[in-house]
Amino acid sequence: MPMDFSRFTTISFDCYGTLIDWESGILSALRDVLGSHGQSQSLSDAAILELYGEFEAEAESGLYQSYREVLQSVVRSFADRLHFEASSAEIRSLHESVHAWPPFPDTVAALRELHKRYKLVVISNIDNDLFAETRKRLDVEFDGVITAEQARSYKPSINNFQMALRTLALSPDRLLHAAQSVYHDVVPARSLRISTVWVNRKSARPGIGAVRGSAALAAEKRADLVVPDLASLAAAVMTRAQD
C-alpha cells in the first residue's frame, strides 16, 4: 500500500550518510592517513568503510564521549589494526574534515521541497559545534536538531529518538524518520513505532555504507518505504499530496 504521508507533521533525518556525503569525506581523510603509512593501496573503499563502521560502533558503545573523540578513536583503531603509529595531526584529521563533507547533490533541493509541507528535524550522531558547520551547507532552517551531544548517547540508542519526541512534543505516529543506516536508525525508530524511510544511497558497500551491519531480525529492519535518494522521497511526497 502507498504510504499515507498526510498523517505526518514532521520528517526527521539522519544527517551524515543521508543528507551529507560522508563516505567521500571519510575516504578522503582516511586515505590521506593510510597513504602516508603505505597502506592506502592495500584496502578497497569497501574495506575501509567496513573497518570504519566497526571502529565507530565500538567507540560509541561505551560511556559517552564526544563525536570528535569517537573519530579520533577511529583513526587510532586503524593504526592499531594496520600496525602503524598515527601522528597527533593524523588522529585529528578525520574530525577536522567534517566541516568540509559535502551535501549530496539532491539534498538541498529535496529539503526545500519537503519543508513546504512538513517541519524538518535532524537526529544525528554528532557534536553541536560540528553540526553547526555542516548546517551552513544545508541551506535550510531546521525546526529542530537533536545531537548525540545533547542526548549523551549515540544511535542506535532509542534515547536519541525519545528525546526528539519529547523535545518536539510529538507522538510517534506523527513523525517520519528518513535515514541511510538500518543499524543506527531504521531498527531503533521502528521499535518506537516511528515510521521509517530507508534512503538506500549508492555506496562502496551497497545496502550498508560506512556503518555496522544490523543483526536485527529481518522484520525489524524493514523500513516502511525504501528510496534511492532524497529527491525520490520528495517526489513521492509531492505526488501523493497532489492525488
pLDDT band (50, 70, 90) for residue 1: low
Burial of 192 (0-12, 13-18, 19+ CB in 10 A): middle
Distance between CA atoms of residues 202 and 55, nearest Å: 22
Q: Is the pLDDT of residue 219 over 90?
A: no
Q: What is the mean pLDDT of residues 100-106?
A: 97
Distance between CA atoms of residues 67 and 71, nearest Å: 6
Element (H, E) at 145: strand 144-147
Q: What pairing do the DSSP bridges indicate for beta strands 144-147 and 119-124?
A: parallel
Q: What is the pLDDT of residues 165-218, one digit of tens each?
A: 999 999 999 999 999 999 999 999 999 999 999 999 999 999 899 898 888 878
Q: What is the mean pLDDT of residues 27-46?
A: 92
Distance between CA atoms of residues 120 and 143, nearest Å: 5
Q: What is the pLDDT of residues 87-97, one digit of tens each?
A: 999 999 999 99
Active site residue 14: yes
Distance between CA atoms of residues 64 and 219, nearest Å: 29
pLDDT band (50, 70, 90) for residue 52: very high
121 Cβ partners below 8 Å, 6+ apart?
10, 11, 12, 13, 142, 143, 144, 145, 146, 164, 168
pTM of the complete model: 0.94
Which of 14, 127, 185, 229 is catalytic? The answer is: 14
Distance between CA atoms of residues 172 and 160, nearest Å: 13
